[in-house]
Structure 1
Amino acid sequence: MKCLSNRAESHLTGQVEQDPMCDGAWVNQGYCSSPPPIPRVSTIYDPQPVFQGSMDGTYKLDAPGMFPEEPVPSSSDQSLKNKKRGCCSCIKGLWGTTLTENTSDNKEKLLRTTLRELLVYLVFLVDICLLTYGMTSSSTYYYTKAMTDLFMNSASENGVKFQTIGTMADFWSYAQGPLLDSLYWTKWYNNQSLDTGDQSFIYYENMLLGVPRMRQIKIKNNSCKVHADFQDEISGCFDVYNEKKEEDLSFGLINGSAWTYHTEKEIKGSSHWGLLTTYSGAGFYQDLGRTREETALILTELMDNLWLDRGTRVAFFDFSTYNANINMFCVIRLVVEFPATGGAIPSYQIRTVRLIRYITTWDYFILGCELFFCLFIIYYIIEEILELRIHKCSYFKSIWNILDIVVIMLAIVAIVFNIFRTIKVDKLLGKLLEQPDLYADFEFLSFWQTQYNNMNAVNLFFAWIKVFKYISFNKTMMQLSSTLGRCAKDIIGFAFMFFIVFFAYAQLGYLLFGTEVESFSTFVKCIFTQFRIILGDFDYDAIDRANRVLGPIYFITYVFFVFFVLLNMFLAIINDTYSEVKEELSSKDDELQFADIFKQSYMKTFMKLKLKKEKISDVQKALQSGSEEIEFKDFRETLKELGHADHEISEAFSKFDSDGNQVLDQDEQERMKMELKEKRDALSAELDNLGANYENELSDKPTVIASEQKGLSSQTFVDQEQFQRLVTQVLRLESSFMTINTRMELIMEKMGSQEKATINAATGMQSGVETASDGCVLVHLDQTAKTDVPSKRSNRHM
């Protein structure tokens, strides 16, 4: 029985050890006294129930006084503890994440932390969306389209447009015709003067900033080697463009910047990525005039003195405009490349950007979003530092952590460039206003503003992708990431074989059709052309014209092996892995459910209102005695029987006992009844709003029975972890009782057998006395004694 008592106590405390004296039983060596009495906790007048929902949908009651509580620390110890941990608790409160807090054994805490992270991140996402979309406008497209139509589609008298330029003569025809007409607007459509002086307003709305600039890059003569058989007929040789072979000697009239070479640093130029190659920012340049007449004279002089010759490899027109209506700059560069093969290849580059940022109210709202964005970046920097300090190198094993770092780094670069751009534009505009005859070089700023916009677009893309980090707990959301993660090795291995075949066909197409088909003219174009063939976008007639025999063979074999076989192998790998992942996830419950958080809040509110309503009902019952006066003693005894605490009863009574005589007269009773009725009606309305059918759902829960709330008034609710610990202890206690019961039954069986053997022995002894002689009786008794010894030993052992 001692073992039984110890064993029972051990399961009540949860601290168990094995005792060899009890033959494998579990006892608690550190807890020998009886458990402390359960303190009474009332939930009638000041109910504080905690309604905890487990992940399996069940709900549990927690009684704070049911189990021994830890000793409360003194005020001095508590103040010292607060001083030591004040900073840490503040950091955990502000920057607590699933990586900084221990949530491995607490799914509810993990759920709440994830939800809080998601809500904070959604605010950040809204801010970055406002920030990004606030810097652009649909007017940007129309501004770019207007400039494109004007400078690209305007034709000269002989029908030359910019995109139809094919020779140097066409270049000069376009420059002296459509270009001049497009750059300088001095009259209305009825030939009435605009009265803007020497300032040009393109389309009457877009001011031409400064003066346009022409620039060319030349190649040295004899930069290539002529074959000996043609040296007598060919006097000069100009190679394809190479920065090392640029002509740096003056030529032509020599006097002026158009005939003198300038380095990229001297003219503060920038390199350009053309259709044929990348060109430096150096060369020979000429700034045009502020009026049409002045510019026409300059162009005529350049053409008459052969400013363009055999050594010219590229010519540029650079100018900028500003539209005050939409606060947009348009930086335009017209490029004509002159390859070593002869002819001309036109191209253009138009960048529409917003360089002046803060003018309207909306702009200042975006400024507020930018400041808010900076605070968010500081917040996330501290968060990532804390996570990195905790997890060290294992921090980089998660792709989401790497994505966090990428987003933060791009954001920091964006912030620095925004400050740099604002300062640089102010200086440039100030200089331009002081000297309006200078070339307005916005090429550098427009380039980096475009890269800034591209960087923000990429950063916003990553920011949206990061949302999957917080919603991937759901098995539906997890299917994509799990499928790609599991089949990554198979895809990478098969991709190696796929691209061997793919690049083999790309080289074949380049060598077969590169001389005649534009889409196969370079190896890089071959690669993209083959991707387009996979998507169904191809020009089979061009391939067939280039090679009537090998063209169809190339096309048919490529489509069969790459499209029908290899590409579908990728799909087969993904589909097979997806089926496995879906089957596995279908047998698992979701680890986290955001619905549980809202359901628990719903249940807390519901139970609080329900308990308050029951409290009012109990007081109303106490007032239904019908007597004109109710003494405090009777009132107290009635409510005590219903499970109410003394201090709660005193509060309720003294609230309406206005004269303090410990007796409720008729008026005081009426006031109490009226107030209780109003409160009960209000609570009933709130309960109806929460859901009339929720009480039925609550009654279906095995662990929560509404009708037992009064009997369980001393209980509140436990969290899942504590409930599981209690369940484990009860199961152990039940198992121990079952073991004891089995052994007790075994002992009883042996004792029954012992009793039967004793009775049989006594019966035999009596019959021996009656039938045998004295000597036989002695022998029989002696044998009976011998047979009885083992039974006694066995009984002692038991």
Structure 2
Amino acid sequence: SAQAPRLHLQSVGKHRPPYSRELEMKTTLQELLIYIIFLTDLCICKFINDYFSHIYYENLLLGVAQIRQLKVRNNTCSVYPYFRIFLKDCYHEYRSASEDKSEFGLKNGSAWNYSPASSLAPWHWGFIGLYSSGGYIFTLPKSKNESIQKLAYLRKNDWLTRGTRVVFVDFSMYNANINLFCVVRLVVEFPATGGALPSWQFYSVKLLRYITYYDYFLASCEVIFCLFVFTFIIQELIKLKKMKTEYFKSAWNWLDMLLPTNLLSLLMENLLSNAYAYPDFYFLAYWQIRYNNMIAVNVFFAWIKIFKYISFNKTMTQLSSTLSRCAKDIIGFAIMFFIIFFAYAQLGYLVFGSQVDEFSTFQNCIFTQFRIVLGDFNFATIEKANRILGPIYFITFVFFVFFVLLNMFLAIINDTYSEVKADFAVIPSQEFEITDLIRQSYNKALVKLRLKKSKMEDVYPAGSMKRSDHTQADFSFSLTFSNSFESTYLTSKYNPVSEKQFEREREKNWLGLSFLCYKGATPKSTEVVLCN
């Protein structure tokens, strides 16, 4: 047997303890599947009854494991004429158009007959291909011995062929202690170049949402959120009806349209009706992950929308004005930047693609160059691949992209910010400071609660003699000039004005103060000094 030489070599070498859980390299797919699913650490220990299996004593195995493969047809690629006498078969890399769906082998059962995929079943994006959700499928029994026998039976009848391009091993577990499902997918891809590329996916998702009291509290929050979204949609529709085409000219309105999204509801009923069948939890986990991603994007845009409400602040107004004013310059610069950037990416792909993993694909080249800009790159790898072009590529890329183009980008933003800041210095911003809004709301609340006197009560104390309507009108007029002086005085501290504007404001304020002193109204502390 294949195991005899290996056991003999283990006994000859260094002494090992009689019981070891060390994972060893396996040479056949049968041994690989057995050790993937039935490792000593992950053995199915039946300690409750014969109908439920547990992994690590805490994780319930849901149903059984499923194994699926996808194949390509023969002669899906062309062989060079001079080699056709040596090579009669040709199996191309996996494509949906070249997928083999015909019967093969024993031609009985789902293991030998193609099972089509449902329309909503997600495809798998592997290292070297995008694979459909159909294929040749069989399930493993719950017993380890029966599973070994079934794998040996399939191996004996050549279930795996030269046309096999990928094998999936899927199973699911549930941990009641933390109310989480773990959906496991183990993948082995067989590229057209030969060899095997293993990979895996572990999805830990919460599919049973409402169990504890805290879950029901979250449910109430979700109801409130749904009501808010419903109200928000109605408001946006009313705004769209009033503004019509003008509604779409604002970037904030486009952001508002992205926020309300449709929620996905997934049902799990009847999935566990047969404990000896494979429950497709991967379908649920996949769409649950997509749903979580959708929520993440919505939360991101909700945070971005905060900029709309903090534009009352002078600093934030300057920043937003800077970005909007230099948008055209940045777009023009971005075109020039990406022309040079993609040129270097193409150069790196052609020179280092066959030797350096970071440049193996054009997409990897793009991400690698972003890493070079951030300083996260191993220069020795490209130097080893090409001692002449490697250093030249690295030095010229850093010089032109990092030292020249990025500094041009910063110069555009700095120059625009200086212009905006100068404009705000000459022309005072009419935006209402949010701090002023909060201060006024706070003062009004204190006045209504009788915790603070209003300006009228400060000038006319309680019990004082009544003034005529003419006197009160004069006071109101003078108080308006007083408030205008205070507003101009506070604003001038933060927004410098031109000389003409300053002279005009000063004359207006002196006129108001003179009128105030002439009428004999009680001035404030600052006005007493000016009147005297």
Q: Which residue of 1 aligns with 2:464?
A: 710
Q: Which residue of 2 aligns with 1:271?
A: 123
Q: Which has the higher helix share?
A: 1
Between the aligned partners of 1:186 and 1:716, the Cα distance in structure 2 is 92
Q: Which residue of 2 aligns with 1:374?
A: 226
**Residue 87 of structure 2 is aligned to residue 234 of structure 1:** yes
Between the aligned partners of 1:508 and 1:269, the Cα distance in structure 2 is 39
Q: Radius of gyration: which is bigger?
A: 1
Q: 1:361 to 1:304 in 2, by over 3 A?
A: same
Between the aligned partners of 2:474 and 2:164, the Cα distance in structure 1 is 87
Q: Which residue of 1 aligns with 2:376?
A: 537
Q: Deviations over 1:733-758 (max 9, x none)?
A: x9xxxxxxxxxxxxxxxxxxxxxxxx
Given that 2:38 and 2:44 are in contact with CA atoms closer than 8 Å, whether structure 1 keeps it comes out as no
**Residue 24 of structure 2 is aligned to residue 159 of structure 1:** yes
Between the aligned partners of 2:464 and 2:207, the Cα distance in structure 1 is 71
Give the Å deviation of 1:157: 6.7
Q: Which residue of 2 aligns with 1:180?
A: 38
The equivalent position to 2:196 in structure 1, one of 336, 341, 344, is 344
Q: 1:294 to 1:590 in 2, by over 3 A?
A: farther
**Residue 358 of structure 2 is aligned to residue 358 of structure 1:** no
Q: Which residue of 1 aligns with 2:99?
A: 246
Q: 1:594 to 1:270 in 2, by over 3 A?
A: closer
Q: 1:238 to 1:709 in 2, by over 3 A?
A: farther
Secondary structure at the aligned position of 1:309 is classed as: coil
The equivalent position to 1:399 in structure 2, one of 233, 237, 251, is 251
1:362-511 pair list within 5 angstroms: 362-408=214-260, 410=261, 413-414=262-263, 417=264, 420-421=265-266, 424-425=267-268, 427=269, 430-432=270-272, 434-511=273-350
Give the Å deviation of 1:480: 2.2
Structure number with the bigger relative contact order (C-alpha 8 A, sep ≥ 6) is: 1
TM-score (norm: length of structure 2): 0.79
Secondary structure at the aligned position of 2:217 is classed as: helix
Give the Å deviation of 1:301: 1.6
Q: Which residue of 1 aligns with 2:431?
A: 591
Residue type at the aligned position of 1:330 = C
Given that 2:21 and 2:40 are in contact with CA atoms closer than 8 Å, whether structure 1 keeps it comes out as no
Residue type at the aligned position of 1:195 = I
Q: Which residue of 1 aligns with 2:143?
A: 291
Given that 2:117 and 2:134 are in contact with CA atoms closer than 8 Å, whether structure 1 keeps it comes out as yes
Between the aligned partners of 2:417 and 2:233, the Cα distance in structure 1 is 36
Given that 1:184 and 1:291 are in contact with CA atoms closer than 8 Å, whether structure 2 keeps it comes out as no
Q: Which residue of 1 aligns with 2:169?
A: 317
Give the Å deviation of 1:183: 8.8
Residue type at the aligned position of 2:24 = G
Given that 1:156 and 1:178 are in contact with CA atoms closer than 8 Å, whether structure 2 keeps it comes out as no
Q: 1:606 to 1:236 in 2, by over 3 A?
A: closer
Secondary structure at the aligned position of 1:340 is classed as: coil
Given that 2:51 and 2:275 are in contact with CA atoms closer than 8 Å, whether structure 1 keeps it comes out as no
Q: 1:293 to 1:472 in 2, by over 3 A?
A: same
1:82-93 pair list within 5 angstroms: none
Give the Å deviation of 1:244: 1.4
Give the Å deviation of 1:302: 1.9
Figure out how many residues of one structure are paired with residues of the other and give that number. 461
Q: 1:375 to 1:510 in 2, by over 3 A?
A: same
Secondary structure at the aligned position of 1:478 is classed as: helix
The share of aligned pairs that are identical, in percent, is 50
**Residue 418 of structure 2 is aligned to residue 579 of structure 1:** yes
Q: Deviations over 1:19-64 (max 9, x none)?
A: xxxxxxxxxxxxxxxxxxxxxxxxxxxxxxxxxxxxxxxxxxxxxx
Given that 2:181 and 2:207 are in contact with CA atoms closer than 8 Å, whether structure 1 keeps it comes out as yes
Between the aligned partners of 2:476 and 2:29, the Cα distance in structure 1 is 82
Secondary structure at the aligned position of 1:301 is classed as: helix
Residue type at the aligned position of 2:432 = L
1:61-72 pair list within 5 angstroms: none
Between the aligned partners of 2:373 and 2:283, the Cα distance in structure 1 is 39
Q: Which residue of 1 aligns with 2:362?
A: 523
- Bigger drift between 256-265 and 362-371 goes to 256-265
Q: Which residue of 1 aligns with 2:496?
A: none
1:73-112 pair list within 5 angstroms: none
5+ residue gaps, structure 2, are 1-19, 485-507, 512-532
5+ residue gaps, structure 1, are 1-154, 188-192, 610-682, 735-798
The equivalent position to 1:195 in structure 2, one of 48, 54, 63, is 48
1:688-767 pair list within 5 angstroms: 705=459, 710=464
Give the Å deviation of 1:595: 3.9
Given that 1:474 and 1:590 are in contact with CA atoms closer than 8 Å, whether structure 2 keeps it comes out as no
Give the Å deviation of 1:601: 5.1
Q: 1:158 to 1:373 in 2, by over 3 A?
A: closer
Between the aligned partners of 1:178 and 1:474, the Cα distance in structure 2 is 59
Question: How large is the Cα RMSD of the aligned pairs?
Answer: 3.1
Q: 1:716 to 1:390 in 2, by over 3 A?
A: farther
Between the aligned partners of 1:382 and 1:524, the Cα distance in structure 2 is 43
1:327-338 pair list within 5 angstroms: 327-338=179-190
Residue type at the aligned position of 1:554 = Y
Give the Å deviation of 1:362: 0.9
Q: 1:604 to 1:208 in 2, by over 3 A?
A: closer
The equivalent position to 1:216 in structure 2, one of 63, 69, 77, is 69
Secondary structure at the aligned position of 1:472 is classed as: helix
Given that 1:534 and 1:563 are in contact with CA atoms closer than 8 Å, whether structure 2 keeps it comes out as yes
Give the Å deviation of 1:602: 5.4
Given that 1:172 and 1:303 are in contact with CA atoms closer than 8 Å, whether structure 2 keeps it comes out as yes
TM-score (norm: length of structure 1): 0.54
Secondary structure at the aligned position of 2:78 is classed as: coil
